[in-house]
Chains A and B, each alone.
Chain A
Amino acid sequence: MSTETNLQSKIFEIQPAERVWQKLEQQLEAHEKQNRVLPLRHKWRWAAAAACLLALAAAWFNSYTDEKPGFSSGLYAPPKNLEELPLSAEGSHCGVCCLSLRMRHTLPEYYQQPRQKNT
Chain B
Amino acid sequence: LNEKALIEACKRMDRRAQKQLYDQFAPAMLGICRRYLRDLGAAEDALQEGFFKILTRLDSYTGEGSFAGWMRRVMVNECLMQLRQRNLLRFPETMPQISDEAQDNRILNQLSAVEILSLLDEMPPGYRAVFNLYVIEGFKHREIADLLDISINTSKSQLVLARQKMEMLLKTRLGIHNGEL
Interface centre among A3, A7, A27 (most CB of B within 10 A): A7
**In whole angstroms, what is the CA distance A6 to B135 when docked?**
10
The verdict on B117 contacting chain A, using a C-beta distance below 8 Å, is: yes
| Chain B residue with Cβ nearest A21 | B22
* Known contacts A3-B109, A24-B22, A24-B48; A12/B31 CB under 8 A: yes
| Chain B residue with Cβ nearest A25 | B15
| Chain A residue with Cβ nearest B135 | A7
B113 surroundings in chain A (CB, below 8 A): 10-12
Contact B31 A11 (CB under 8 A): yes
Contact A4 B138 (CB under 8 A): yes
**In whole angstroms, what is the CA distance A7 to B15 when docked?**
34
B31 surroundings in chain A (CB, below 8 A): 11-14
Contact A24 B51 (CB under 8 A): yes
B116 surroundings in chain A (CB, below 8 A): 7, 10
Q: How far is the CB of B143 from chain A (nearest CB, A)?
A: 13
Interface of chain A residues 11 through 46 with chain B (CB within 8 A): 11-17, 20-21, 23-25, 27-28, 31-32
**In whole angstroms, what is the CA distance A16 to B34 when docked?**
11
B168 surroundings in chain A (CB, below 8 A): none
| Chain B residue with Cβ nearest A29 | B15
Q: How far is the CB of A2 from chain B (nearest CB, A)?
A: 8
Interface residues in B, total, Cβ within 8 A: 37
Q: How far is the CB of A29 from chain B (nearest CB, A)?
A: 9
**In whole angstroms, what is the CA distance A31 to B52 when docked?**
10
A81 surroundings in chain B (CB, below 8 A): none
B26 surroundings in chain A (CB, below 8 A): 15-16, 20-21
The verdict on B181 contacting chain A, using a C-beta distance below 8 Å, is: no
* Known contacts A10-B116, A11-B136, A25-B15; A17/B52 CB under 8 A: no
B19 surroundings in chain A (CB, below 8 A): 21
A24 surroundings in chain B (CB, below 8 A): 22, 48, 51-52, 55
Q: How far is the CB of A62 from chain B (nearest CB, A)?
A: 47
List 22 contacting pairs A-B, 8 Å CB cutoff, sorted by A.
Answer: A3-B109, A4-B138, A6-B109, A7-B108, A7-B109, A8-B136, A10-B111, A11-B28, A11-B35, A13-B27, A13-B31, A14-B31, A14-B40, A15-B27, A17-B44, A21-B26, A24-B55, A25-B15, A28-B13, A28-B52, A31-B56, A32-B13
Kindly list 10 other residue pairs between chains A and B, CB separation below 8 angstroms, not including A10-B111, A20-B48, A24-B48. A3-B108, A7-B109, A7-B116, A13-B28, A13-B30, A14-B34, A16-B47, A21-B22, A21-B26, A28-B56
Show the binding face of A for B, using Cβ within 8 Å: 2-8, 10-17, 20-21, 23-25, 27-28, 31-32
